[in-house]
Structure 1
Amino acid sequence: MHAPDRRPQPDAHPARLILTLSLAATVGLGIGRFAYALVLPDMRDSLNWSYSAAGFMNTINAVGYLVGALMASRLIRRVGWSVAIRGGTVACVAALATCALTGNFIALSLARLVLGLGAAAGFVAGGALAATLAQSHPERANFLLSLFYAGPGVGILASGLIAPFALQYFGPGSWWIVWWALTLLSAAMTIPLFLIRIESRARFTEGSHASFAIPPVLIYLAGYFLFGAGYIAYMTFMIAYVRDAGGGAAAQAAFWSLIGVSAFVTPWVWRGVLALDRGGLATAIILGTNALGAALPILGNSTAWLAISAVVFGVAFFAVVGSTTAFVRFNYPHEVWPTAIAAMTISFGVGQTLGPIFVGAITDALGSLSYALNVSAALLALGALAALCQRKVGPKDSVLEVG
């Protein structure tokens, strides 16, 4: 008699596996994309950048992410899930090291581009696997998926506890030291991805008898575009705003860390809202809260007021992507999910590509970062209104039959 196979199945510990997969998002987004805001003020002063040039660094990163997201399914088919996740994350670590090695604008732009490409590979592949794991536990699906989307919050929290104090200790012009510290942190966070077994029977199909129909959800896509443009402006320039308002290393670290910590309560705060199957209502509620958080600094820049802004913004920010995933799951058959999510990603990606450089140009023209916050809050509020106008998609509107 053969002994029973007691090896753990791929989804035996879904929460632990999803949390490990989320490290790809921690490195690629939490550190690779968002930690730039912490280093931006010192880089801008040391390298004599305008706000437009500073914004361009996040624009080129967003371009890389958009291209990477569009190519992700093809990449996964060609090299497999594990290579896409691990390779994308390793590429992010290499790009972070490049940021520490040079102050050349072109070289830094290329590094930010690679960071976007790598982050997209890790995030899309990791997110798809996380969704597969979550779907096998329907009673906990939203909660389990939220664990993956909390990954960037870990990177935001960790970088917020490192960068401001390193800059304070080493003084002006030490931005490259911070990049080295973040590179080493990211390398350490990449190790667990090589210690788990990454596999899935899920496959991306080349085609389907049903294709995604854009007109019924055009207003929702517009709202997601506005979210992409609005949130990235806040996340790019808020640390500079805190510093200009007199906030030292402790204030900057506290502000940034509060945004990161907010990610950990997101699954519980929005569990009921994410379960709403009423068109774009869930997204509108969460995005409206996000807009409120972005608008609060306009009313004052005291430490307490900025802390409230960070918490309100952060607790909603991490839930918006989850709400769009829930919208797709509620309104479309399973075979249309990849196409529908790709459409959401394109809309969001274009928004976050245009947002930083657009808001940076406005700040250069008007001479104050407060205008950047005004624009950010307005874009998020308009996005919430657009999502509110989205009704539930009917069966006849959700897909177009082809072939």
Structure 2
Amino acid sequence: MSASPGSAPAETTGPPDATIGRQALVALALASGPVVALGFTRFAYALLLPAMHEVMHWSYAQAGGMNTANALGYIIGAATAALLARTVGGRQIFLGTLAASALVLLATAATASFPVLLALRFVGGFTTAVTFVVGSVLASHIVSGALQRRSALMVAVYMAGVGIGVVISGAVVPAALGSGPSGWRLGWLLMGAIAVVALLPAWLGTRSVAPPGGTHSAVLEADQLRRLAPTFVWYVLYGAGYVSYMTFVIALLKSQGLGGSMIALFFVVLGVASVVATLTVWGHLAGRLRAGRAPALVAVVVFLGVLPVLLLPVGVPAAVLSAVIFGASFMAGPTAATVIARRMLPRGAWTAGIALLTVAFSVGQAIGPLVSGLLSDGAGGISRGLWLSAGLLILAAVAALFQRDHHAA
């Protein structure tokens, strides 16, 4: 029997497997948010970047600046998500910003103006940050009580939406780019149309999550901030490191002679690896590993995923190996961060904690592509910028190890 509108999926009635199945379906419906917020709005830009770079004669610094504009909007969206959710309501703001993100995707197809595209990337960053943060909190509330490991699994199902979005964009965008010089416009248009369709499962998912009860804070207290400080540092470095790779790896592969079909294969493999590993590995590990071990492990594995395209001979094997390793780990970062916030903060502070961690993530994502782009414009080309990504990920792993455990009441 399905959950009634406005009620959380039951935990104490019916066979346990059936209960978990219903909860997973709710998390999967909410995953429509990250499909659009990250899979389309953020990561698909890497697929579209080479064509936009060529048609509009951008420098790599300009190309990185587009992602920086998106990340700045993301910072503001993440910083205000808790307040918006408290004022407007979690369900309403999740659906409203998801709808706005769909409109931004559609509007991006309509202009080649650099300032207008910068503005759209900024607005898209804002709306998708709110969607992602509030959706993470809704996913955290699917399982109530002290079932930490099952809650981590539901969060992982939600985060798998990013990989699903990457797979969809990996199939849709290269086909659109093959239609001619204006193919980049068609790519954004198709993703916008899919984002409109995604509103239906997102709406159904929100109907099955009970609104959080009790008092909820829009900001964290000083001791809560100190408690999470190492995770904040980890997330800044991690965000800068992983997004630099995601922004420029496609451009690197194209510069090394890989054709459109191989680029599409790379992106689809990356997305499939993300979905499979997030559901089968990281959802369980994030709930079991204590303190900062899960974030540290994530950073190390993502670092290993960057290395094949930098160290191995140019070709499909290096690209696929990189896609598998990187794809299998990069979205474990948000999963680990959400689980840490849930574990270490009282229930009423979850939204504020996840939002503030996402701000840290966004700061890294704003800085990383711009610095990586500037390095890529100089001697050494794109690979030089990607070495920055690798170094930042190692620093992130070290920072995470300073995180200590704390069980909130």
TM > 0.5 between the two?
A: yes
Cα deviations across residues 110-165 of structure 1 (Å, max 9, x unaligned)? 11111111112211221111100033582522211100011111111000011112
| Matched residue type, 2:386 | L
Please, which of 321, 332, 343 is the counterpart of residue 308 of structure 1?
321
- 1:151 corresponds to 2:161: yes
Provide the rounded CA distance (Å) in 2 between the counterparts of 1:209 and 1:235: 31
Contact 1:98/1:108, CA 8 A, preserved across alignment? no
Please, which of 281, 285, 297 is the counterpart of residue 285 of structure 1?
297
Within a 5 Å distance, the mapping from 1:14-93 to structure 2 comes to 14-93=23-102
TM-score (norm 2): 0.89
Q: How far off its partner does 1:74 sit?
A: 1.8
| Matched residue type, 1:175 | W
For these two proteins, the number of residue pairs brought into alignment is 391
Contact 1:208/1:335, CA 8 A, preserved across alignment? no
Identity %: 34
Please, which of 394, 397, 402 is the counterpart of residue 381 of structure 1?
394
Root mean square deviation, CA, Å = 2.4
Provide the rounded CA distance (Å) in 2 between the counterparts of 1:69 and 1:338: 10
Within a 5 Å distance, the mapping from 1:95-114 to structure 2 comes to 95-114=104-123
Cα deviations across residues 40-66 of structure 1 (Å, max 9, x unaligned)? 001001101010110111111111111
The 1:120/1:250 distance shift into structure 2, 3 A limit, reads same
Within a 5 Å distance, the mapping from 1:230-245 to structure 2 comes to 230-245=241-256
The 1:272/1:183 distance shift into structure 2, 3 A limit, reads closer
Instruction: Give SS of 1:369's match.
Output: helix
Provide the rounded CA distance (Å) in 1 between the counterparts of 2:200 and 2:227: 44
Provide the rounded CA distance (Å) in 1 between the counterparts of 2:344 and 2:82: 22
Structure 2 equivalent of residue 269 of structure 1: 281
Contact 2:97/2:131, CA 8 A, preserved across alignment? yes
The 1:342/1:7 distance shift into structure 2, 3 A limit, reads closer
Provide the rounded CA distance (Å) in 2 between the counterparts of 1:209 and 1:197: 25
Q: How far off its partner does 1:272 sit?
A: 4.7
Structure 2 equivalent of residue 205 of structure 1: 216
Q: How far off its partner does 1:196 sit?
A: 5.2
The 1:231/1:241 distance shift into structure 2, 3 A limit, reads same
Instruction: Give SS of 1:172's match.
Output: coil
Within a 5 Å distance, the mapping from 1:209-220 to structure 2 comes to 211-220=222-231
- 1:251 corresponds to 2:249: no
Provide the rounded CA distance (Å) in 1 between the counterparts of 2:85 and 2:228: 28
Structure 1 equivalent of residue 151 of structure 2: 141
Structure 2 equivalent of residue 229 of structure 1: 240
| Matched residue type, 2:239 | G
- 1:340 corresponds to 2:353: yes
Structure 1 equivalent of residue 364 of structure 2: 351
TM-score (norm 1): 0.90
| Matched residue type, 1:234 | Y
Q: How far off its partner does 1:366 sit?
A: 2.4
Provide the rounded CA distance (Å) in 2 between the counterparts of 1:293 and 1:44: 25
Structure 1 equivalent of residue 13 of structure 2: none
Instruction: Give SS of 1:133's match.
Output: coil
Structure 2 equivalent of residue 181 of structure 1: 190
In structure 1, stretches of 5+ residues that fail to align are none
